[in-house]
Amino acid sequence: MERKSKIDATGAIVLTVFMAVLGLNQVGIKIVNEGMAPMFQAGLRSVAAGIIIFLYCSWRNIHIDLKIPVLIPGIATGLCFAFEFALLFQAIEYTTVARSSVLFYTMPFWVALGAHFMIPDDRLNGLKVLGLLLAISGVAIALLGGQGNQEGASLTGDLMALLAATMWAAIALIARTTQFSTLKPEAQLFYQLFISAIILVPLSMFGESFREPSLLHWLIFTIQVIFVVSIGFVIWFWVLSVYPASEMASFSFLAPLFGVFFGWFILDEKLTWNIIAALLLVGIGIVLVNKKAKKDY
């Protein structure tokens, strides 16, 4: 598909729905952690989703290139993917969904900053910087307003979520700046699932695996494998291949807000005035980031 110079209506709708799914996924991970150890859950998810994506690639005759110019960045993204989810799943074990969501979705800041230096046609301008700062402020309000003393929060979990965000940003930048971008989204995802599976599964063997999983845990885990990883991340890479990285990534600020909402709706976390204020700031930030610069006539 032809690359776009800005986010259009289709991209905005797809990204908003995807961010809602990711926000809900944070709650799903928290629940499944009750039945499976975080590292084992992450590794098992990569194995299951990897099988699905491999079968899909075989069915659609999607080539998985193993040449060096693709293989090296492919391995790099796989390593980042493994550390990203190992850190995220552990973060949700140690801290609250609200805090882990807010910190994990600082990813767009790292993408936008990296893209400014690494991608010539994806520079930051004054409006984009202002939009990103407003969105970051909104996310901070969502976290700090009534969440500072929340039970279950920990500095360890917060730092893990923040490091996971940098891993996600690294994947986005590698996919945009190397020949890894020549692969179809499904092949890119298979690389990451395969590499992460062979890393996470052996590492999980050094600790516990199951924690008396119930039917609910398996149901949520299956939904994560099929709809979040197998379908969701293919859509993510498609969007990444079509739209500007900094503008696309700015929509990720919606995910922590969805995460806080679903945390309130499902886990009975507080939903206060600060969430409304955060939504307004994030909305304004997205408009500014996606505002097209005026042309000289």
Helices 155-177 & 97-104, crossing angle to 10 degrees? Answer: 30
The confidence score (pLDDT) of residue 295 equals: 42
The confidence score (pLDDT) of residue 149 equals: 52
Backbone angles phi, psi at 261, to 5 degrees: -60, -50
The confidence score (pLDDT) of residue 38 equals: 93
Taking the C-alpha atoms of residue 169 and residue 240, their distance in angstroms, rounded to an integer, is 12
Residue among 7, 242, 253, 230 nearest 109 (CA)? 253
Residues of the chain with pLDDT under 50: 146-148, 293-297
Taking the C-alpha atoms of residue 93 and residue 286, their distance in angstroms, rounded to an integer, is 30
Cβ contact 180:9 at 8 Å: no
Taking the C-alpha atoms of residue 187 and residue 180, their distance in angstroms, rounded to an integer, is 9
Domain ranges for the chain: 9-290
Cβ contact 162:110 at 8 Å: no
Taking the C-alpha atoms of residue 73 and residue 131, their distance in angstroms, rounded to an integer, is 31
Residue among 86, 51, 36, 50 nearest 214 (CA)? 36
Taking the C-alpha atoms of residue 28 and residue 17, their distance in angstroms, rounded to an integer, is 16
The confidence score (pLDDT) of residue 294 equals: 45
